[in-house]
Amino acid sequence: MKEAKSSSKKGTASKKSVEADTKSSARAAQPSNQERARQSEEKTTPVVVTTEQPELPAPHGKISIFGGPKDRGIKADDKLALPTGPHGVYERVRSLNPKSFYCSMRWNYHVHHMAPEDVKRWWANKKLQITNSKTGAAIVARAVDYGPHENTGLDIGLSPGAAEALGVEAGDEVDIALADPKLALGPK
């Protein structure tokens, strides 16, 4: 009888040991309270990715023409508003070839999460597609400057070469859009 009882006790002890091992294994497989809280937070907290970029000031507007021999409002040492060279170097307006394709707009330098200098660097040399609203002729130009002044009622400044390729004069209307950065400057 004693042997049966001791064997029964051994079986109970052995059973308890297996149960304890199973419970500890189950606990090890389950995440801790901190881990559960973190997982719950990951599931309920949306990930906010800020991809805010500066917006085009106007998708449509009237043009001005700047640069070149007919532009009397430019001094020899006037610099462009956008840093077009490395390390924030600003070109001089007179260094622009009037036959090349460049433009200016009144860029918004106040963008959430970006310093004004970062916004200027973002716009510098950005390619824009400008389309003659009447004929459908289109060109790609690079952003180099800020303007025309808001008092003029004009929305975008174009190089003489860009205006000629579009067949437009100051005051004519054009459509404006961001262009693929891989596109070459000039007629499209």
- Residues 121-147 have pLDDT tens digits of 999 999 999 999 999 999 999 999 999
CA atoms within 13 A of residue 103's CA, in its CB half-sphere: 33
pTM: 0.69
Report CA-CA distances (Å) from 97 to 39, 102, 124, 131, 163: 59, 9, 17, 21, 13
- Residues 41-57 have pLDDT tens digits of 555 444 444 456 788 99
- Domain range list for the chain: 2-44, 60-187
Domain range 60-187, CATH architecture: Beta Barrel (2.40)
